A = this chain, B = another copy of it.
C-alpha cells in the first residue's frame, strides 16, 4: 500500500471514525429508498448544527451526496463508496500479491 493510497483510504476511514458520523452514515445507507432526509436522521444526541457539520464531513470525504428538494435536504450514499471500501479492505485482509495462495490469513488460534 503506497502512501498515496493510504491517504485516500484513511480519509474515508477517518470520516467514519466518529460515532455520530458513523450513525449518520448508517442511517442514510440503511434508509428505505437509499436516501434520507436530514430531519429523519438528526436524532443522534447532538444539536442539529452539529449534525450538519458531520454530514458536511461525510460529504467532503466522498461518502455521501446531498440534494435539496423543496424544503428538505436528502442525503444518499455515494455508490462508488461500497466498491471502494471493498477494494480497500480486501487487499489488506487477503493481499495475495503474487505468490500467496491463502485467501485469508486466519491462523488457528
Contact = CB atoms under 8 A, between A and B. Distances in A.
Contacts of A17: 10-11, 13-17
A21 B17 CA distance: 13
Interface string A38-49: 011000110000
Interface residues of A, number: 56
Given A17-B16, A18-B14, A101 B6 contact: no
B85 A107 contact: no
> Which secondary structure dominates where chain A touches chain B?
helix
Given A14-B18, A97-B32, A23 B1 contact: yes
A10 B18 CA distance: 5
A92 to B, nearest CB: 4
